[in-house]
Amino acid sequence: MEALLPDLETEIEYVFVDDGSSDGTLELLKTYREQNSAVHYISFSRNFGKEAALYAGLQYATGDLVVVMDADLQDPPSMLLEMKNLLDQNADLDCVGTRRTSREGEPFFRSFCADLFYGFMKKISPVALPSGVRDFRMMRRSVVDAILSLTESNRFSKGLFAWVGFKTHYLDYPNVERQAGKTSWSFRQLFFYSIEGIVNFSDFPLIIAFVAGLLSCFISLLMTFFVVVRTLILGNPTSGWTSLMAVILFLGGIQLLTIGILGKYISKIYLETKKRPLYLVKEKSDLPDFTEKIKRKDYNFAWKYAKLEGVERSCRY
């Protein structure tokens, strides 16, 4: 990053979010902070997850251009120069994002499931979600403020970036195999994260439950008609518990599926109504409190109505 500074020709601040790590990350960030005043850090009281960390970083970032980037540098920093040049040369461009053209270094099954997810989202979601899109992007302040205005608890960043709109150009690049360490995202975590994305940006699961209910009713009516005709007209009554148990299990499965889908959406409502903060800060460098007025270079920003501990603070843009 330091090597890129002369080419970027701009003042840079770094905002690192420590999501409750236990590997000495915070101590390392404090050391960097002592060596470079442009380095800032936020340390959570526990692990609140990737979405909370991303949201916190955007809240505390004060630049006119903001970059979202993983700390493992698997996303190539060298692309920052091209991103900035595109924004400087195109005033109508609001964001430069990235997407991977390959998944080198990933297990085949994981890559297959990822492609399946993006293809499925294109079919069921009204929001266009490009395949292979990354969180790694450079945004103008207007885009960042739009993201911050979405205060929902259940967050899916890739969907939110797409939902707010704004003109976005994507840079394609091949996936780079991780040089050190390993991802903390297990297949199980990715699976449930994909479920969050589907539920947050589509009501298609509810449609599935509705259609399944209609089909089960239709099949039940056909079976009832068949039994009545066979018994009353043909004089051949249907006997045996096998068919009865099959019908009961089928209808029971449909009911449980429907209840599960409804329960997932209801749980989202429940979590939103609690209005818990997305994260709690245990420690941070001398960053300004985002809930109060923040004066920036060439840009004055504050929340219109920032609520903190039940006190409504009226702010302005």
Q: What are phi and psi of 133, to 5 degrees?
A: -65, 145
Q: What are phi and psi of 26, to 5 degrees?
A: -60, -45
Other CB atoms within 10 A of residue 109 CB:
9
pLDDT for res 245: 67
Does the pLDDT at position 22 exceed 50? yes
Question: Could you tell me if 19 and 48 are in contact, meaning their C-beta atoms sit under 8 angstroms apart?
Answer: yes
Does the pLDDT at position 289 exceed 60? no
Between 292 and 205, residue with greater pLDDT = 205
Q: Which two tokens stand for residue 271?
A: 């979590």
Q: Highest-confidence range of 191-195, 281-285, 303-307, by mean pLDDT?
A: 281-285
Give the C-alpha separation, 30 to 39, whole Å. Answer: 9
Give the C-alpha separation, 237 to 181, whole Å. Answer: 68
Between 98 and 317, residue with greater pLDDT = 98
What separation in angstroms does the CA of 316 have from each of 47, 141, 294, 302?
Answer: 32, 16, 11, 6
Residue 299, strand partner residues: 296
Helix, strand, coil distribution of the chain in percent, nearest 5: 50, 15, 35
* Per-residue pLDDT tens digits for 198-226: 777 677 777 777 777 777 777 777 777 77
Question: Could you tell me if 287 and 40 are in contact, meaning their C-beta atoms sit under 8 angstroms apart?
Answer: yes
Give the C-alpha separation, 135 to 197, whole Å. Answer: 14
Nearest to 72 by CA among 178, 172, 157: 178
Q: Which residue shows structure tokens 């005033």? A: 91
Give the C-alpha separation, 306 to 103, whole Å. Answer: 41
Average pLDDT estimate for 278-294:
67
Give the C-alpha separation, 31 to 25, whole Å. Answer: 10
Does the pLDDT at position 297 exceed 60? no
Average pLDDT estimate for 46-63:
84
Average pLDDT estimate for 3-9:
65
Q: Which amino acid is at 213?
A: G
At 71, the pLDDT band (50, 70, 90 cuts) reads confident
Does the pLDDT at position 171 exceed 70? yes
At 314, the pLDDT band (50, 70, 90 cuts) reads very low
* Per-residue pLDDT tens digits for 77-125: 888 888 888 888 888 888 888 887 766 656 666 667 777 777 777 777 7
Give domain limits for the chain: 2-107+130-184+277-314, 204-274
Question: Could you tell me if 79 and 1 are in contact, meaning their C-beta atoms sit under 8 angstroms apart?
Answer: no
Give the C-alpha separation, 10 to 8, whole Å. Answer: 6
Does the pLDDT at position 280 exceed 80? yes
The pTM for the full model equals 0.66
Between 196 and 241, residue with greater pLDDT = 196
Nearest to 104 by CA among 82, 80, 132, 83: 132
Nearest to 175 by CA among 245, 230, 114, 260: 114
Q: Which helix (H) or strand (E) holds 17?
A: strand 14-18
pLDDT for res 291: 46
Class of domain 2-107+130-184+277-314: alpha beta
Does the pLDDT at position 244 exceed 50? yes
